[in-house]
Amino acid sequence: MKKVLRIINRFNLGGPTYNAAYLTKYLSDEYETLLLGGQHDESEASSSHILDKLNLHPVIIPEMRREINFKNDRIAYQKIKKIINEYRPDIVHTHASKAGAIGRIAAHKAGVKQIYHTFHGHVFHSYFGKTKTKFYKNLERYLAKKTTKIIAISKLQKDELVNIHKICKSDKVEIIPLGFDLNRFKENQEEKRKIFRQKWNIKENEIAIGIIGRIVPIKDHNFFIDVVEKTLEKTNKKLRFFIIGDGEKKQEIIDYARIKNINTSINTNAATLQFTSWIKEIDVANAGLDIICLSSKNEGTPVSLIEAQASYKPIVSTRIGGINDVVIENETGLLSEVGDLETYVSNLLKLIDNDSFRISLSKNAQKQTNKFTYHRLINDIEKLYTNT
């Protein structure tokens, strides 16, 4: 039996936690896995319910946090190094940037033979200025040399890592898409839709449009507010907009919406634009929405769009990162370039004003989710571990 040490940045709600959790739970009996990671930030939703449901009990390293802090990072490094020396893993597999840096250095220093890293996204554009971005690129190039294989979660991400940002050679990178248990998004849709729409007082003749995710700069909720404003100006249809999530920019986005004179409410059920905070039963929310949006400047594989399609929902999104691997343009969703407000609003209006078009995209949506099952993920990872 091979021992796997799986290290994740932090246990916040999102794709990396699901990915690490399913790999910890469902790898075959040939593997024993120890999962460890940092604590979620106060502005983020905890993913503890995901771990509890799978009966996982990870090791928490509170010092491993999103921001660079040399004191905390050194403590986290020492703790991981101690765990590696005690657990003696055959494989160390890290997920996302902070865990990838600290975990891979510790694993290499300890002489671990098989070291893997999954890029769930990257910070090589739209996050920082030139100097900081250059630092991160140089760090990742150094880390790549210490890594057996790097895992990209989409074809476009591999192209960015290899050809645009020059992190490593092509043969170092394996493409393995994320995997999830999507069954709950397909079940009891009518009942869930009724629950959500009653809770938020959405009438049958109202079209509910939602965006789901952390309220942080990279997700560009300011752009989404601009979309809401322009869309309301251009249609007579009755619309309700929902921002589902929390984050460091939440109050700023609320203030921006109010500057735009959009009827806005927090956690109540009577406004044109509702800020709901995190909703753990996102399958219920998806069932209640009619269109699901994304406005990010940078993405790896957007989990909210995979879950949206599993819920038979059409998508309007920016064309960035791994979105083209998730959305079939003009079949399951409509895409526009980052910052192109006019096209984004036009795409949204096509779905709002044309019920038959919206329904046709909905019917196409679920067939695109078959490649994102956790069974396929497990199989791909085990093959990688065996063959490298």
The proportion of the chain whose per-residue pLDDT surpasses 90, expressed as a percent, equals: 73
CA distance 15 to 233: 35
For the chain, the domains span: 2-181+373-387, 183-371
Alpha helices in 146-212 (DSSP H): 155-159, 183-186, 189-199
Which residue did the predictor score with more confidence, 145 or 155? 145
What pTM, to 2 d.p., does this model score?
Answer: 0.81
Phi, psi angles (nearest 5°) of residue 294: -150, 140
Euclidean distance between CA atoms 124 and 299, whole angstroms: 11
Tens-place pLDDT, residues 38-65: 887 665 667 778 898 899 999 999 998 8
| Tally of CB atoms within 10 A around 82 | 12
The third-level CATH classification (topology) of the domain covering 183-371 is Rossmann fold (3.40.50)
The four Cα atoms 214, 176, 18, 249 give a dihedral, to 10 degrees, of -10
Question: For residue 47, what are the contacts with CB-CB under 8 A and spacing of at least 6?
Answer: 11, 12, 13, 14, 17, 18, 21, 40
Confidence bin at 97 (pLDDT 50/70/90): confident
Q: The CATH number of 2-181+373-387 is which of 3.40.50.1700, 3.40.50.2000, 3.40.1190.20, 3.20.10.10?
A: 3.40.50.2000
- Predicted pLDDT of residue 39: 80
The pLDDT of residue 318: 97
